[in-house]
Amino acid sequence: MIIDSNKIDTHNEILIQSHANKLVFLASEIGETENIVQKLIDFQIAIPSWALGTGGTRFGRFAGGGEPRSLEEKIEDVGLLHALNNASGAISLHIPWDIPTDYNAIKSLAAQHNLKFDAVNSNTFQDQANQEHSYKFGSLQNVNKAVRKQAVAHNIEVIQQGIALGSESLTVWLADGSSFPGQLNFRKAYQNTLESLEEIYAALPSNWKLFLEYKNAEPNFYSTTVADWGQSYSYVKKLGDKAKTLVDLGHHLPNANIEQIVSLLLMEDKLGGFHFNDSKYGDDDLTAGSLKPYQLFLIFNELVEGMDARGMNHAKDLGWMIDASHNIKDPLEDLLQSVEAIMIAYAQALLVDRKALEIAQNENDVVRAQEILQNAFRTDVRALVAEARLRSGAALNPVGLYRDLAVRNGLIAERGLKTMATGL
Ligand code: LRH
Ligand code: MN
Ligand code: MN
């Protein structure tokens, strides 16, 4: 299924007058809008291949129908999102949930949809059929050298597949840890993990990055071997310049100050990228911005400030990815909502009056500092995000058009009602 550009034009024509009015009003409030709109046009957020099917919990899974049955169909789904919002121009693969066979065919399909391949993800948290050793007691940390070797070999294989697709980064997330006190010697687990990561790092091409994602708990519930940003930092610092920490917003202990973590990792040149999602309890993987939009804004506020201070390119110098997976929503609608929320937070962060904030900070004017941040956060910037879409040929209201065109019904007609995408 492909969304015809005429359909987007017709949709936009209906909404254009009301959009133009909102934009004029916003410009009268905030002044210059051109710069922000341009930055929004350039900003792209990668879609995880595993979010395109209905996610489940360990209590059940309620499939929605029309889910992608192959890597090709996942690429088509991301193509649909990108046609609607022109902000989802990359797909992040998880191997072996995604198994590319004909690389050239996959690459040309992605190119037809204007998509790039973002970070490739390895998987040593599940046992695969025909696998010699089990990861039940960990992978890169395992007390058994043969298991570690197998996990290292898998990661190197994923790098090779990524190279063939034109990807430039590997994300390593480890379920390794322990569930009971005494199960693990923490120091040995750390050292085994480091040694394994060094072997993977040695296989990276020079233009590649390795993202080491941390997570406080789950599936292990007593210790996790890469549990927080400090532990990830300690590994990536030892590995070298190409290794960076990846921040998944759902992987912290409750109430962690994620924006401060982001600021310091950036300062240390060790922030690699993000997995955006939202949560109330743990790794809930809910739609970005659905629960804590102010936190999302505060994170972007630190990103914009820190990246500008280091002369970094907002769109290119970090890996921007979503990691959300939904159990009750249509996954494509959910992803459109996540991208919109991320764009809104970014636009609001671009609005912050940095000079005034610096003065307020230097004068210890706490009230003024808060006003400056909240003025930006409370500005309705949706017209700026919509304008960025309009200028790049996408839809003013992506979810609205998705529904008007009955895209899900079209996908069900093509693929059937009983479909099961690979993933969580
Ligand atoms: C782990 C995680 C990690 C995995 C993905 C499926 O919770 O966030 O990024 O690769 O979920
Ligand atoms: Mn993640
Ligand atoms: Mn997660």
Domain locations along the chain:
5-415
Ligand minimally distant from the alpha carbon of residue 123: 1
Beta carbon of 340 within 6 Å of any ligand 1 atom: no
Beta carbon of 333 within 6 Å of any ligand 1 atom: no
User: pLDDT of 265-288, one tens digit each?
Assistant: 999 999 999 999 999 999 999 999
How much distance in Å is there from the Cα of 102 to the middle of ligand 2?
27
Q: Which atom of ligand 1 is nearest to 423's Cα?
A: 6
At residue 423 the predicted structure's pLDDT band, cuts being 50, 70 and 90, is low
Say yes or no to pLDDT of 228 above 70.
yes
pLDDT of res. 405: 98
- Side-chain half-sphere of 60: how many Cα atoms within 13 Å? 4
Distance CA 55, CA 325 (A): 5
Q: Residue 52, Cβ neighbours under 10 Å: how many?
A: 26
Pick the CATH number of 5-415 from 3.50.50.60, 3.30.1300.10, 1.20.1250.20, 3.20.20.150: 3.20.20.150
pLDDT of res. 422: 65
| Averaged pLDDT for residues 192-214 | 99
Q: Residue 191, Cβ neighbours under 10 Å: how many?
A: 12
Phi, psi dihedral angles at 319 (to 5 degrees): -90, 115
Ligand 1, atom 9, lies closest to the CA of: 173
pLDDT of res. 58: 80
The pick from 95, 173, 277, 325 for probing ligand 1's pocket by mutation, whose C-beta has the most ligand atoms within 8 angstroms, reads: 173
Q: Residue 251 in contact with residue 261, Cβ under 8 Å?
A: no
The pick from 228, 248, 283, 321 for probing ligand 1's pocket by mutation, whose C-beta has the most ligand atoms within 8 angstroms, reads: 248
- Between residues 379 and 1, the one the model is more confident about: 379
Say yes or no to pLDDT of 416 above 70.
yes
Beta carbon of 97 within 6 Å of any ligand 1 atom: no
Is the bond preceding residue 96 a cis peptide, omega within 30 degrees? yes
pTM: 0.97
Residues near ion ligand 2 (CB < 5 Å) are 248, 275, 323
Mean model confidence pLDDT for the chain: 96
Ligand minimally distant from the alpha carbon of residue 251: 3
User: pLDDT of 22-68, one tens digit each?
Assistant: 999 999 999 989 999 999 999 999 999 999 988 778 888 888 899 99
Token representation of residue 415: 């693929």
Which residues 6+ apart lie within 8 Å of 59 measured at CB? none
Which residues 6+ apart lie within 8 Å of 79 measured at CB? 2, 112, 113, 114, 115
Say yes or no to pLDDT of 224 above 90.
yes
179-183 CB contacts, 8 Å cutoff, 24+ apart = 179/220, 179/221, 179/222, 180/222, 181/222, 183/222
Distance CA 200, CA 401 (A): 44
Distance CA 19, CA 395 (A): 12
Of 209, 224, 217, 323, the residue nearest 271 (C-alpha): 209
How much distance in Å is there from the Cα of 248 to the middle of ligand 3?
7
Q: Residue 347 in contact with residue 36, Cβ under 8 Å?
A: yes
How much distance in Å is there from the Cα of 110 to the middle of ligand 2?
23
Q: Are strands 177-178 and 47-48 parallel, antiparallel or unpaired?
A: unpaired
Beta-bridge mates of residue 345: none
Local structure of 342: helix, strand or coil: helix
Say yes or no to pLDDT of 424 above 70.
no
Distance CA 93, CA 378 (A): 36
User: pLDDT of 164-190, one tens digit each?
Assistant: 999 999 999 999 999 999 999 999 999
Percent of the chain scored above 70 by pLDDT? 99
pLDDT of res. 155: 98
Angle at alpha carbon of residue 423, lines to 286 and 418, rounded to 5°: 95
Say yes or no to pLDDT of 243 above 80.
yes
Q: Are strands 177-178 and 223-224 parallel, antiparallel or unpaired?
A: antiparallel
pLDDT of res. 1: 84
Ligand minimally distant from the alpha carbon of residue 125: 1
Distance CA 56, CA 300 (A): 29
- Side-chain half-sphere of 385: how many Cα atoms within 13 Å? 25
The pick from 92, 118, 171, 213 for probing ligand 1's pocket by mutation, whose C-beta has the most ligand atoms within 8 angstroms, reads: 213
Residue-level length of the chain: 424
Token representation of residue 352: 């912050």
Q: Which atom of ligand 1 is nearest to 285's Cα?
A: 8
SS3 content of the chain, % helix, strand, coil (to 5): 50, 10, 40
ipTM of the complex: 0.99
190-195 CB contacts, 8 Å cutoff, 24+ apart = 190/141, 190/225, 192/140, 192/141, 192/142, 192/143, 192/148, 193/140, 193/141, 193/225, 193/226, 193/235, 194/235, 194/238, 195/148
User: pLDDT of 229-242, one tens digit each?
Assistant: 999 999 999 999 99
Percent of the chain scored above 90 by pLDDT? 93
User: pLDDT of 79-125, one tens digit each?
Assistant: 999 999 999 999 999 999 999 989 999 999 999 999 999 999 999 99
Token representation of residue 102: 């004909």
At residue 9 the predicted structure's pLDDT band, cuts being 50, 70 and 90, is very high
Q: Residue 418, Cβ neighbours under 10 Å: how many?
A: 9
Beta carbon of 248 within 6 Å of any ligand 1 atom: yes
Distance CA 335, CA 78 (A): 10
Say yes or no to pLDDT of 252 above 90.
yes
User: pLDDT of 318-327, one tens digit each?
Assistant: 999 999 987 8
| Averaged pLDDT for residues 247-256 | 97
